[in-house]
Amino acid sequence: MLQVALIYPEIPPNTGNIARTCAATNTHLHLVEPLGFEINDRQLKRAGIDYWEYVNVTVHPNIESLRQASQDARWICFSTRGATNFREFQFQDGDWLLFGSESKGLPEEVVINNPAVYIPMEHPKVRSLNLSVSAALGLFEARRQLGLN
């Protein structure tokens, strides 16, 4: 089963939107502290609408806790530093899709030790997409490849 992990998310509406996507796809969402907001933040709840009861969320105090929870699962890093276009990458059942903070992305030590994919940008001045858009693209591509859509 696919899982989504946000490492140090900073913007509550992005996390709320991702939680809503996870609820719609029955995907477990993992949040790694420190978070840039309180888990009961009004904007976070607002973005997730009334779907919070349908999303399975685990908050981890650090990356090591996330590693323990994922055990032997493969971490797939979504990063502008990724080597492979996310559409050309072969996702597997059980992959954990990792996304970094809005301002810094994923920590370097996570990216260099795991497969890293990128979402192509047509315009050379655009560095990245909104975090919630990136997470939705990544999750739905993995689901498409696995025949889950």
| Residues of the binding site for S-adenosyl-L-methionine | 100, 119, 128
Cβ atoms of 1 and 93 closer than 8 Å: yes
Residues belonging to the binding site are 100, 119, 128
Give the Cα separation of 15 and 12 in Å (integer): 5
Give Cα 1 distance to the centre of its chain.
Answer: 14
